[in-house]
Chains A and B, each alone.
Chain A
Amino acid sequence: MIFRVHPGSGVPIYLQIESQVKHAIAAGGLNQNDLLPPVRKLAAELRVNPNTVARAYQNLERDGVLRTVPGGGCYVNGQSPGLLKAEKIRRLKPLATQLAVEAKQVLLSREDTLKLLEDSFDELGDSHD
């Protein structure tokens, strides 16, 4: 797994690491029982303070995404659907807000905007479950 953090983005670095792990799990890049890089190694690679990486891992463990084996590293837990849905909503919320703002800006009605969204879903086909 390759991590990239953007220190200038205004998003706390530990949150960036957390969301990259969650994203990788959601996208299938990380699977159950995969081993994450040790705190020290990841910190050195990213040039960030190890406390920051440790904080991200601790939060992920608290959320049930990872589990730590004492002396044996951090492993990916099985997926927890509730958590992933909350994560998806958190990701999409800004886009939804953006759409609502833009619609209001050009005076497109609520119904027409929702219709637009449904059309976009239709264009993607019925592959969602």
Chain B
Amino acid sequence: MTDLAIQTQGLAKSYGPLGAVDGLNLHVPRGSIYGFLGRNGAGKTTTIRMFAGLARRTGGSIQVFGLDPQYDHIAILERTGFVIDKMLIPSMTGNDLVRFNRAFFPKWSDVLAKKYAEALEIPMKQKFSKLSSGNKTKLCLLLALAQGADLLVLDEPTAGLDPVVTDQLLRLIVDDFANDGRTAFLSSHHLSEVERVADWVGIIDHGKLLLEAQLDDIRIGYRRIRAIGRELPTQSPEILKLHRSEGMTEYVLRANADAFTARLRNEGATVLDVSPMNLSEIFLELVGKESHVPVEVLA
């Protein structure tokens, strides 16, 4: 028995010559809230569709609860709530869909469905086709949450939700999921929400995983150091990025900032500041273009 809810090895998906996902090694621990981050078109949705057995991989392997979605996707669907395409039967109301879905899931809870309809403020008597896009998303989330799953896989769950409902949703994910040791995997590019709720993050760009780590370890490790001096070191395993301008050098370090700062001082440099970085800054350093807004303007 593994303590990973989802694991992939060398996972790949290409559409003809176009590689959407390229050698992904993901490890999603049970009981975690895993934030799967990437820009538009980075390969997030393709990856999630492969988890659900909706897309066939072209290489590598996937295990969801130790099962392969290509062969055992029914068994996986029984234990996993997926919210991917946010499309349901248009002529059915929320209440119809609750009655319809109930039959498929042995652990379905009407009590939970009612609670979520109230918490997320969903008009349950309207036809799906008449709902606003935010309410469509909320109804999809309700159906996934009420099925009593051990794992939730949500693709951009907060897209189109207002801040109050987003906050309610995060609370539900923490309270009803993580608190029971169940696992939530959510893709997003809304970094501030993920930063709050997630304890693991994976950052994907151009189909490749750039970083997978515990968020608190990232917070401890990553530092921005600004220093002045001649012939400062440019090579060190912990240096992620190096920016130079007019006698000043800025380092972005993955780890060991204290030791590195001491080394700079020993080599005669003046260290101006060592500052922690939030997830959004780290994300920009990892996947951003070189020519983004200068740091002085952001500060």
Contacts and interface: CB of A to CB of B under 8 A. Distances in A.
A8 B192 contact: yes
A44 B280 contact: no
Given A12-B220, A40-B179, A7 B196 contact: yes
B58 to A, nearest CB: 34
Interface in A1-17: 5, 7-15
A44 B167 CA distance: 11
B236 to A, nearest CB: 21
A12 B215 CA distance: 8
Interface string B98-112: 000000000000000
Contacts of B196: 5, 7, 46-48
A84 interface: no
B220 A8 contact: no
Interface in B227-276: 275-276
Interface stretch (A21-29, A49-57, A62-70, A74-82): A49-57
A49 B199 CA distance: 6
Contact of A44 (B33, B171, B199, B217): B171
B174 interface: yes
A12 B216 CA distance: 5
B175 interface: yes
Contacts of B278: 7-10
Contacts of A50: 174, 178-179
A30 interface: no
A125 to B, nearest CB: 34
B219 A43 contact: no
A10 B275 contact: yes
A116 B149 CA distance: 63
Given A8-B280, A10-B275, A40-B179, A49 B219 contact: no
Contacts of A48: 174, 196-197, 199
> For the complex, would chain B's binding face be called helix, strand, loop or mixed by DSSP majority?
helix
Interface residues of A, number: 21
Given A49-B33, A52-B216, A7 B192 contact: yes
Nearest to A10: B276
Contacts of B198: 49
> For the complex, would chain A's binding face be called helix, strand, loop or mixed by DSSP majority?
helix
Interface string B182-224: 0000000000100111110000000000000001110110100
B257 to A, nearest CB: 11
B280 A49 contact: no
Contacts of B161: none
A51 B195 CA distance: 15
A51 B170 contact: no
A62 B198 CA distance: 25
B279 A8 contact: yes
A42 to B, nearest CB: 10
Contact of B174 (A5, A7, A47): A47
Q: Which 10 A-B pairs have the closest CB atoms?
A: A10-B276, A12-B216, A8-B278, A49-B199, A44-B175, A7-B195, A7-B196, A47-B170, A12-B219, A40-B179
20 contacts: A7-B192, A7-B196, A7-B278, A8-B195, A8-B280, A9-B278, A11-B219, A40-B175, A43-B179, A44-B174, A44-B179, A46-B196, A47-B196, A47-B197, A49-B33, A49-B174, A49-B197, A49-B198, A50-B179, A55-B216
Interface of B: 31-33, 167, 170-171, 174-175, 178-179, 192, 195-199, 215-217, 219-220, 222, 275-280
